[in-house]
Structure 1
Amino acid sequence: MDIETLVQRNKDDLAVLEQCLGYRFTDLRLLQKALIHSSFAFEQAQIDKNNEILEFLGDAVLDLVIGHTLCKRFPEMREGELTRLRSSLVNETHLATMARNLKLGDFLCLGKGEDASNGRNKSSILSCAYEAVIGAILEDSDYPTVAVIVNKFFVPDMAGKKEELLMADAKSRLQEALQEKFNEAPSYRIDEEEGPSHQKIFTVSVLFREEALGSGTGSSKKEAEQRAAATTLDSLDDVIGKFSS
């Protein structure tokens, strides 16, 4: 079955997907090709007529658009932090979530075996298909157009992902800052444990030169330490000033 036949057969479904994407294709064959998994192409004896090249293109587009947007929105972040933040937005899990939000699995062309094994809900297949759709939009239009569409879907998650990253990385950032300034690292002290063994709440303090700098609570020691470090980072300038005098 060739692409033109698939487009005619799936014309109504493709129109629904276009509406979800907020983009109307000049060449619907590109959108259709983005939805063809290799298992379907193999069964149709058209092994090269799948979405893998568009997936490759979409992967590059997402890295560039999201990387550029992050640099503009968060100019205070360092290169390593920006890299980790971009990775949290374009990894398989998050891309599969974006695909599920579009119900992209409903539109995929899968081989019979892949379809029978719940392929429409596999994160690996969904994330690749999402990248392929982005690649198809670029092929059908131009970079400014695809950048607008990518940002429409990804910008709402950027601030939340940034906070998750900074919270998860708070201990490392605090240690780097104190070691750079004083050549010493902070330590952590468990101040309190509350609740039953399966629902404990820990309160932890950050110590530097035996003085408490900040505290945090969490359902694990690690989480409490990260929160304590994050609290300390909020007043880092005051901390550095205090120990520098």
Structure 2
Amino acid sequence: MENFSKLQKCLGYEFNNTNLITQALTHKSYKKPYSNERLEFLGDAVLNLIVGEYLYHKFPSSSEGELSKLRATLVNEKAFTKLANKIELGKYIFISAAEERNKGREKPSILSDAFEAIMGAVYLESGILKVKDIMLRLLDECYEEITIDTLFYDYKTALQELTQAVFANTPEYKLEASFGPDHKKEFVVSIWIDNKNLGSGKGKSKKIAQQEAAKIALEKLQKDKGHK
């Protein structure tokens, strides 16, 4: 196992307490009297607050519901795995031999948990402003542009991949309605696959409405697939 100097350089932060970073990188499978689970819990809470504040200021006209959806795209296993891979966190995690054989260093659950734990450890040692500095820099490095459209992009992509695999077809989006004044317009878009309506979405732009429709259709198809 390498020492932590390169990891700390990627973080832009050097721990004073090496026990803290060791605990943050110790998966429960490693069979030590400690693991990173408590730090993961703390890091999750801190990151929720930091990302929530970031989105609050970045999207001043978004509603509470929209902000919640936006935060959910940045505070989840997939997003944290992306950030963990950016700093090559998998190289440094302490895991059991069994997890090693099962490619545990590449598992999103282990990577995202370790990322939360590292942020929790930084918070304990240096406070929320230092975590905020690290997190916002990593977001900037990992996302070319953070907009409502780009954050929701994965729903359409994921749905298209699923429908091509299951139906050998791609979804069709139809504008059903638009209402409200120009400065506060709302759009309703329905989504169709093989002439079957899989739901509709609403948003402040056609793209947002499409993403909402794609999310609903994706959830429906995944649920139907799970019951087969």
Asked if these proteins are the same fold (TM beyond 0.5), I'd say: yes
Taking structure 2 as the reference length, the TM-score comes to: 0.68
8 Å contact from structure 2 (residues 25, 94) kept in 1: yes
Q: Of Structure 1 and Structure 2, which has the larger fraction of its residues in helix? A: 1
Match of 2:9 in 1: 19
Measured at CA, do residues 230 and 138 of structure 1 come closer, stay the same or move farther in structure 2, by a change above 3 Å?
Answer: same
Measured at CA, do residues 203 and 125 of structure 1 come closer, stay the same or move farther in structure 2, by a change above 3 Å?
Answer: closer
Aligned residue identity for 1:23: Y
8 Å contact from structure 1 (residues 204, 228) kept in 2: no
Residue 32 (1) aligns with residue 25 (2): no
Offset, 1:166: 6.2
8 Å contact from structure 1 (residues 205, 228) kept in 2: no
CA distance in 2, matches of 1:199, 1:134: 42
Deviates more, 1:74-83 or 1:150-159: 150-159
Corresponding pairs, count: 189
- CA deviation vs aligned residue, 1:5-38 (integer Å, no higher than 9, x gap): xxxxx6x530010011111111122111110011
What is the root-mean-square deviation of aligned Cα atoms in Å?
3.8
Aligned residue identity for 1:230: S
Taking structure 1 as the reference length, the TM-score comes to: 0.64
CA distance in 2, matches of 1:232, 1:101: 29
Given candidates 119, 128, 132, the residue that maps to 1:147 is 132
Secondary structure of the corresponding residue to residue 23 of structure 1: coil
Match of 2:52 in 1: 67
8 Å contact from structure 2 (residues 48, 75) kept in 1: yes
- CA deviation vs aligned residue, 1:23-59 (integer Å, no higher than 9, x gap): 111112211111001111x2xxx33x11111111110
Match of 1:185 in 2: none
Measured at CA, do residues 159 and 86 of structure 1 come closer, stay the same or move farther in structure 2, by a change above 3 Å?
Answer: farther
Measured at CA, do residues 202 and 142 of structure 1 come closer, stay the same or move farther in structure 2, by a change above 3 Å?
Answer: closer
Aligned residue identity for 2:88: K
Match of 1:84 in 2: 69
- CA deviation vs aligned residue, 1:106-146 (integer Å, no higher than 9, x gap): 11100111111111111111100000010111112122111
Secondary structure of the corresponding residue to residue 56 of structure 1: helix
Given candidates 114, 122, 134, the residue that maps to 1:137 is 122
Offset, 1:163: 1.2
Secondary structure of the corresponding residue to residue 13 of structure 1: coil
Residue 206 (1) aligns with residue 170 (2): no
Aligned residue identity for 2:92: F
Measured at CA, do residues 232 and 62 of structure 1 come closer, stay the same or move farther in structure 2, by a change above 3 Å?
Answer: closer
Match of 2:39 in 1: 54
Residue 162 (1) aligns with residue 132 (2): no
- 1:165-244 matched pairs, under 5 angstroms: 198=168, 202=172, 204-207=174-177, 230-231=205-206
CA distance in 2, matches of 1:39, 1:198: 41
